[in-house]
Amino acid sequence: MTPTESLWPRLAELPLVVESCEYERLSTTLAHDFERVTTQVRLAGAGVEGIGEDVSVHVEDGTSLHELQLQLPLTGEWTLASFCDRLAPLALFPAPPEWPAARSYRRWAFESAALDLALRQAGRALHELLGLEPRPVRFVNSLGLGEEPSIEPVRRRIERSPGVRFKLDAEASWSPQLVDTVAATGMVDTIDFKGHYGMEVRDPAALAALYERVLAAFPEALLEDPHDLPELAPVLRAHADRVSYDAPVTDAAALDATPLPARIVNVKPSRIGSLEALFELYARCAREQRPMYGGGMGELGVGRGQIELLAALFHPDAPNDVAPSAYNEDDPAGELPTSPLAPRPDASGFRWVG
């Protein structure tokens, strides 16, 4: 059972020695030959290193950490809490990023690396220090159905992992036939409308028709980030028990500001940015009995394992959007890992083995 009080105090006073910081470029090719790029942050001290992953820059544009080789005043002796306090006011971008959320993504890279390092220096594993037992992680594969929407991305994954379930990005261009075909698989747990990403609604009538089709075809699926539009409010209120929120949830206080009650919450650690804020969100959701599931941001390295580990500790049985990174490839090769993932916490640190 998830604790109803924040577990941050169990970590805050961990001693931390930082002697150096280095950056490692990661990349892979996704759909339509899109090269996804992230940066691993490597903090070293006392003969060990801690790793986090920055997902704030999708393509190299001069602002990624491995391009900037950003030098920050982080060396020294700290507690984990004092390190995070030192990090908070620092400029992590050379200029304000286009998307303000990128600041949180980058902060999470450093804070997660610091947590990993502090735990490794102490010779302790995260689950051990928190007093939680990692459990098998149920996951879903999050994907869109393409610029010309088709069932094929779903079929390709089912062929390689017959039991895989999905979180699908809904588009107004989905035809009624496609909706019916996808629904017939019986493998969709979540429909993501991405209604809080600031994207323009170009055809309100087509969007309303999409909602009508989707709500009827997927009567049990979670409805993530529905659009906050007057014409949709009546139909959404009738399905309020399965509305979930992702993009608006930046901390525990944000649960009070969602258009509809945030009865179900997609917890994305990189969107929260802060370890302290993340553990308070976990605790508040537990106190108020709000179901949670985990979410990622296209991590390619250690960051994916870290969110799988958090899911194993705080919401293992939910439709977690933490599928192994191979699922993000356009046409994954060979067999894919199956859900649920067996717990694989490392013997020390904030790591998921493999």
Q: Do both 107 and 170 map to the same domain?
A: no
Averaged pLDDT of the chain: 94
Give residue-wise pLDDT tens across range 206-243.
Answer: 899 999 999 999 999 999 999 999 889 888 989 999 99
143: closest CA among 130, 131, 126, 161?
161
The model's pTM is: 0.96
Domain-embedded: residue 164: yes
Look up the CATH number of the domain holding residue 227. Answer: 3.20.20.120
Q: Do both 109 and 151 map to the same domain?
A: no
Domain-embedded: residue 280: yes
> Residue 265 in contact with residue 291, Cβ under 8 Å?
yes
Query: Encoding tokens for residue 36?
Result: 């996804």
Q: Do both 41 and 75 map to the same domain?
A: yes
Give residue-wise pLDDT tens across range 260-307.
Answer: 999 999 999 999 999 999 999 999 999 999 999 999 999 999 999 999
> Coil, strand, or helix at residue 81?
helix
Lay out the sheet containing 48-54: strands in order across: 20-29, 35-45, 48-54
Residues 6+ apart with CB under 8 A from 205: none
Question: Would you give the distance in Å from CA 257 to the centre of its chain?
Answer: 20
The residue from 100, 128, 156 where one domain ends is 128
> Residue 115 in contact with residue 350, Cβ under 8 Å?
yes
Query: Encoding tokens for residue 87?
Result: 């990090």
Q: Do both 140 and 114 map to the same domain?
A: no
Number of structural domains the chain divides into: 2
The residue from 128, 162, 188 where one domain ends is 128
Q: Which residues in the chain land under pLDDT 70?
A: 1, 31-32
CA 350/CA 302 separation, integer angstroms: 9
| pLDDT score recorded for residue 331 | 75
Domain-embedded: residue 349: no
Q: Do both 185 and 303 map to the same domain?
A: yes
Q: Do both 208 and 300 map to the same domain?
A: yes
CA 150/CA 62 separation, integer angstroms: 35
CA 10/CA 158 separation, integer angstroms: 41
Q: Do both 118 and 234 map to the same domain?
A: no
Q: Do both 83 and 164 map to the same domain?
A: no
The residue from 90, 112, 128 where one domain ends is 128
- Burial of residue 186, with CB atoms counted within 10 A of its CB: 0-12 exposed, 13-18 middle, 19 or more buried: exposed
Q: Do both 120 and 141 map to the same domain?
A: no
Question: Where in the sequence is the domain holding 157, given as residue range(s)?
Answer: 134-328
Query: Encoding tokens for residue 185?
Result: 């698989």
Query: Encoding tokens for residue 128?
Result: 């051990």
| pLDDT score recorded for residue 31 | 65
Q: Do both 36 and 69 map to the same domain?
A: yes
Beta-carbon-side half-sphere exposure of residue 134 (alpha carbons within 13 Å):
27
Domain-embedded: residue 41: yes
CA 145/CA 23 separation, integer angstroms: 33
74: closest CA among 132, 105, 117, 27?
117
The H or E element containing residue 78 is: strand 76-79
Q: Do both 167 and 284 map to the same domain?
A: yes
Domain-embedded: residue 340: no
